[in-house]
Amino acid sequence: MTRKEFIHKSRMFFREQLRVADYIDVQAAGDNIRNNIPFRGPTIYILFTAIVIASVGLNVNSIPVIIGAMLISPLMSPIIGFGMGLGTNDTQLLLQSLKNLGIMFAISLIASTLYFMVTPLETDNPTELLARTNPSIYDVMIAFFGGVAGILELSRKEKGTVLSGVAIATALMPPLCTVGYGIAKLNWHYAGGALYLFFINCVFIALATFLVVKFLGFPLAGAKDERSWRHLVSYCLLILLVLTPSVFSAYSIVVENRFSIEARRFVKENQTIGGTYIFDYTTDTSVKPYRLTLSLAGEKLSNEARATLYTEAQKHGIRHEQIVFREDATIEVRRLNETEIMRDWLSSTEAQLRQRDDSIRALRTQLDTYRALQLPSAQIAAEIHSQWPEILDVTLARSDNSVILLLTTQPAADSTATTLRDEDLQRIRNWLAVRLQEPVVEVIVR
């Protein structure tokens, strides 16, 4: 295969893979978008429930609840309708979409504000609320590419689950609820940041729809007159107006991230300076210039060591006026460590005492058991020998169910007989049973 043939076949392959004409239905897509724009009847109640669910999710800081509200929300339809109206020169569709989007916006704002005014819950760490208050260029990218995926999904002949993912990614509901929270709590930083994020999502979802509508060749509803050009120019200016702050915000995020990374590298490379040790550090990007606080332990930082740290910080883009030393933190940490050491020592001592008491208790139990099993052999032998002198030796033993007494007597004149009579053996058996408090005693004579 020649190079020219390879290039031609590759071009044909990718053209076939990227061709969308056989998989879309622009007429059905246009009808579907137009039918979902009107905001009346059940759609009002669906929006209201979605707003309440999203507000509760933000209130309790629950991501699954917030995602559920995004999936329920019908807010995306008028935004896509606006983009399609702009792309097809359909002024009526454009105005209808704006009207319904305004109604949805007002209802959402009223519902979320009322909820946060009456809820008794207070969020200690509202990370989900904060996430909607500082939008950047990255949110612009999410909204734009989410809008592209959304309009392509609506244009496909065979629908999939893309719209659910678009609804989650673009997140129209949480910013509106955060605006309501800001109004209810008179927190204008929250309200302003979240409102800006909502406008970003609306503008760039509509922009993505406009471009895809042009790319797919949706039929025009009207000619390109002066009014349509005026709409397009106005929208371009709106894009620039919305985009500019997000670029500065993204720049700030990048600078903050770089400062944090360089601060971590600086501390790691200069953990020990002479007899001084950097045991902790914090960065504060809420002030200008950014601040790096170093907590020191060990010897007091000398002027030479301080100058060395300043020089090393310069290599990481950190100026000396951005560095704050906390040498008094050593005393606080030492006190804290002494307290922790004493607490640990007391806990360890208490555990050892409990263990020792348990061991003593177990040994006493074993000793009592041993004493209960032990037989007073010497005393029993002396008592038996005093009554029956012919008994030479006495041995006591304990079996599972009885006590065994083994007696050795003097041999009788008749070698087959014993010097103890049967009544003597019975007396010994009865006496020993009472003496040892044992119900069964066996006596064996040899």
Q: Is 425 helix (H, G, I), strand (E, B) or coil?
A: helix
Position 386 scores a pLDDT of 79
Position 160 scores a pLDDT of 63
CB–CB of 313/323 below 8 Å? yes
Position 131 scores a pLDDT of 64
Position 281 scores a pLDDT of 87
144 closest CA partner among 96, 93, 212: 212
Q: Residue 383, CB half-sphere, CA atoms under 13 Å: how many?
A: 10
Owner of token pair 């009544």:
423
CB–CB of 72/46 below 8 Å? yes
Which residue ranges make up each domain of the chain? 17-222, 377-445
CB–CB of 40/74 below 8 Å? no
Position 373 scores a pLDDT of 56
- Give the chain's length: 446
One-letter amino acid for residue 33 of the chain: I
Ordered per-residue pLDDT tens for the chain, 446 residues: 677 777 878 888 777 777 777 778 888 888 888 888 887 788 888 888 888 898 888 888 788 888 888 888 777 888 888 888 888 888 888 889 999 989 889 999 999 999 988 888 776 556 666 666 677 788 888 888 888 888 888 888 776 666 666 766 667 888 888 899 889 888 888 888 888 888 888 888 989 999 988 888 888 876 666 677 777 788 788 888 888 887 777 778 788 888 889 989 988 888 888 778 887 888 888 788 888 998 887 778 888 888 888 888 888 888 888 888 887 655 544 554 556 666 766 777 777 788 888 888 877 776 666 555 566 777 777 877 777 787 877 777 766 667 777 777 776 555 444 567 778 778 887 877 777 777 767 777 76
Position 272 scores a pLDDT of 82
Cα–Cα dist 121/349, whole Å: 44
**Sheet with strand 391-398: strands edge to edge:** 391-398, 403-409, 441-445
Q: Residue 232, CB half-sphere, CA atoms under 13 Å: how many?
A: 14
How many CB atoms lie under 10 A from the CB of residue 207? 25
DSSP 46-91: HHHHHHHHHHHHHHTT-HHHHHHHHHH--THHHHHHHHHHHHTT-H
CATH 3.30.70.2210 for domain 377-445, yes or no, is yes
Cα–Cα dist 36/386, whole Å: 118
CB–CB of 210/87 below 8 Å? yes
Tens digits of residue pLDDT in 268-307: 888 888 778 887 888 888 788 888 998 887 778 888 888 8
Q: Provide the CATH number for the domain formed by 17-222 in this structure.
A: 1.20.1080
Q: Residue 414, CB half-sphere, CA atoms under 13 Å: how many?
A: 5
Token duo for residue 403: 């006590």
CB–CB of 200/139 below 8 Å? yes
**Sheet with strand 272-273: strands edge to edge:** 272-273, 276-284, 291-298, 323-326
Cα–Cα dist 117/357, whole Å: 60
CB–CB of 324/293 below 8 Å? yes
In this prediction the pTM is 0.61
Q: Is 415 helix (H, G, I), strand (E, B) or coil?
A: coil
Position 415 scores a pLDDT of 46
Q: Is 1 helix (H, G, I), strand (E, B) or coil?
A: coil
Radius of gyration of the chain (CA): 45
